[in-house]
Structure 1
Amino acid sequence: KGVQGWQYRTPMWRSMLADAGVTQSMSRKGNCLDNAVMENFFSHLKVEMYHRNRYDSVNVLMQDIEGYICYFNNERISLKTGMSPVEYRASREM
């Protein structure tokens, strides 16, 4: 029986998240595709933004992450769709 991620299931951790207003999301056991979309996003974020910079403060890092999210959703063109995520979503709603 695996214990992967046990520290994220402890009452203390869950209480800390609740106090901060954070909703925890974890993959179901044996279903690695649950978080595939977010893992893909964070892979791009690390390669395209994080590893290219040095951050002297958490505030600067947070500002860059917010800027990258805006860029990723509105401007970054996906090779698969030829559109940004916002454009793709809008095209699917028509």
Structure 2
Amino acid sequence: MISQHLKAQQIKVGRHLAGRLMVEANLASRQRRRHQYRSRGVEAFVAKNLLERNFEPTAINQVWCGDVTSLMVGKRWYHLAAVIDLFARRIVGWAFSLINDANLVSRALRMAAEVRGKHAGLMFHSDQGCQYTSQLFQSALLEHGITQSMSRRGQCWDNAPTERFFGTLKSEWVPTKGYTTVEEARQDMTSFFMRYNRIRLHSYNNYLSPIAMEQQAA
């Protein structure tokens, strides 16, 4: 990724030279840990896998994906829900809470709906977590006219783009020891999402940022 940033500034450098420069600057590449699939708990409704790993929509607001990950704050785990528009991998909604429940993912969805508006034919894909099978989340989808799709049980790669996004967040941004306070974590997440959408080069977008990719396609 460092080599791509340098190329974007018209500085020619390969991955090996970028690696040597990182060593000289005392920088280390942090590797992503393997995702551990979470049990969905008590289910209310399990939707069919309509997405079927078709992760390349042709326009914005065709497919949104969502998931939840955990971050250490003080000595407790807090939970981050995110919503991604798959067209350019842009983060369009998120929510942060001590409690990992239907309210958390519904708040992330509402933010996405406020940012993007209502669109015919929009699909939302997630795993079979109990937050997403809940009646509260079903009602939120219905309110915004969104069709639901779910990964097959135990198949984390059915939601691969969201898994990769959380891997990027943790390997590139989140402090190794976590955060001291909730406010620190919340502010840092806000900064990351702004940077990710506006500045960070994404290989899926031919090394354009998500917002730049959307603007190019408009």
Q: Normalising by structure 2, report the TM-score.
A: 0.33
Is the Cα–Cα contact under 8 Å of residues 197 and 209 in structure 2 kept in the other structure?
yes
Counterparts of 1:34-53 in structure 2, within 5 Å, are 34-52=158-176
Cα distance in 1 between the residues matched to 2:104 and 2:156: 28
Cα distance in 2 between the residues matched to 1:53 and 1:75: 25
Report the alpha carbon displacement of residue 53 of structure 1 after superposing the two structures with TM.
5.8
Is the Cα–Cα contact under 8 Å of residues 151 and 159 in structure 2 kept in the other structure?
no
Cα distance in 2 between the residues matched to 1:43 and 1:73: 16
Q: Give the match for residue 26 of structure 1.
A: 126
Q: Give the match for residue 86 of structure 1.
A: 211
Residue 50 of structure 1 aligns to a residue whose secondary structure is coil
Residue 57 of structure 1 aligns with an amino acid whose one-letter code is T
Q: Which has the higher strand share?
A: 2
**Are 1:69 and 2:193 an aligned pair?**
yes
Cα distance in 2 between the residues matched to 1:75 and 1:32: 28
Cα distance in 1 between the residues matched to 2:171 and 2:104: 32
Cα distance in 2 between the residues matched to 1:83 and 1:55: 30
Residue 92 of structure 1 aligns with an amino acid whose one-letter code is A
Q: Deviations over 1:12-61 (max 9, x none)?
A: x9xx63499535x6322426455322222111110111134641101101
Cα distance in 2 between the residues matched to 1:55 and 1:83: 30
Which stretches of structure 1, 4 residues or more, deviate above 6 A after TM superposition? none
Query: RMSD over aligned Cα, in angstroms?
Result: 3.2
How many residues align structurally? 85
Over 3 Å counting, the alpha-carbon distance change for 1:62 and 1:29 in structure 2 is same
Report the alpha carbon displacement of residue 65 of structure 1 after superposing the two structures with TM.
0.5
Cα distance in 2 between the residues matched to 1:19 and 1:78: 27
Q: Give the match for residue 102 of structure 2.
A: 17
**Are 1:5 and 2:130 an aligned pair?**
no
Q: Normalising by structure 1, report the TM-score.
A: 0.67
Instruction: Point out where structure 1 has 5 or more consecutive residues left out of the alignment.
Output: none
Q: Deviations over 1:44-82 (max 9, x none)?
A: 110111134641101101100110000000000123412
Over 3 Å counting, the alpha-carbon distance change for 1:62 and 1:19 in structure 2 is closer
Q: Which has the higher helix share?
A: 1
